[in-house]
Chains A and B, each alone.
Chain A
Amino acid sequence: MTSETRKPGTRVLVADDEELVRTLIGRVAEEFATTVVLVAGGREALAALEASEFDLVITDIRMPIVDGLAVVRWLHSHRPHTRIIAITGFAASDTEHAVAALGAYLLDKPFGARELRDAIEHALSAEKPQAR
């Protein structure tokens, strides 16, 4: 599975303040990407995004200081082609609606490797949803 799905040059950024979750997301993301960068928060994510381009950003919504919504907003205005998977706790809350409206795929917690893999596959292959 690994070698078939991985496109050379694909770069993924993972932002989650939970180290274990972040590491595990990274492990699955490696199946799809040649470069996976892990960061522990929104601020670090913005710094990484400003420094280089990514094909896909997987970010938790609830993070201290700079949250996932800020990251998604920044991407929406600065990197409109970057695919986004937003990890959510409450699929129906206002923040989640906002994130979805900005063109991110929502992945509801808790999820397993299979759900994550499906989300990544979908985000990378499908047309990016139009921001409303």
Chain B
Amino acid sequence: MSRPSRRGWLGLALAVAVLAGGAALFVTGSGRTDDAEQEVVAAQAAVDEQAAANQTGAQIQRHLARVRRVAREVPRQTNELLTSAAAVLTGSRDASAANAALVAAVRASDYNAYNAGIVTAQTTSDARADAQSSYSGDSAQLNGLINQIQEALTAARDLLEG
């Protein structure tokens, strides 16, 4: 039985070393590939989730834009309401003063003062009623704007809460 030469043993050692190196490369490469594939899956899921959230966000922004559009009308309408409310307030004060004068006339049993006061009270009451009528229209307008804003905000909130 012949013994292998020194060169043969060296060749075997080298081949084994190549095998070991190849196996190490294979094992580490496979493990790295598995990890990287999981990273890709997780990152893709994050992208999809964020993209979906952004799509909802865009819809929400459209509702908020509607809120802004409607709300631009609010200062003007509020001013009109406050102007008519001020007229009502003036009417209320005049009417209260007229009624107080009537009370004084009754307490004093002053028929003439009462009869004169009735005319004033009626006039002030009518003026106040006119102002209140105007106020009602302005109030309805502002309430309409508020309702539109609330509807848009409700729609945005519904989207936000899924």
Q: Report if A and B associate in a common complex.
A: no
Which B residues fall within an 8 A CB radius of A? none
Which A residues fall within an 8 A CB radius of B? none
